[in-house]
Amino acid sequence: MYRNTNKEMVIRFISGLIIFFSIIYGYWWLTWSLLILFLFYFPNYLEIIFFGIMYDQLYGLPIQEFWNIKFIFTISSIILFTISTFLRKILIVYDDKI
């Protein structure tokens, strides 16, 4: 079973602040690159879904190429979280932390 220590909680909080300021002041590709990096660094990084919702609420527009769906980043963050969960079970790099 995975146990959070104070150091890990501080690192997780700082990563959340980095993502928040990246959403506000950064480029979309920088934000999503950092989210994918943190997704594989932290076990059960559910914050990616929260940040996907936040990104869509701030900048989300219906795009014609995506069938006028407004919540593209939310849907993609849920898909990324699901894929990372399955990859964690398959890859040998991750031990039983989930």
Q: With beta carbons less than 8 A apart as the criterion, state whether 3 and 98 touch.
A: no
Q: Domain residues of the chain, as ranges?
A: 6-90
Helix, strand, coil content of the chain in percent (nearest 5): 70, 0, 30
pLDDT for res 4: 61
Q: With beta carbons less than 8 A apart as the criterion, state whether 81 and 45 touch.
A: yes
Spatial distance between the Cα atoms of 9 and 22, rounded to a whole number of angstroms: 20
pLDDT of the chain, 98 residues: tens digit per residue: 456 678 888 999 999 999 999 999 988 899 999 999 998 888 888 999 999 999 988 887 777 777 778 888 899 999 999 999 888 878 766 665 54
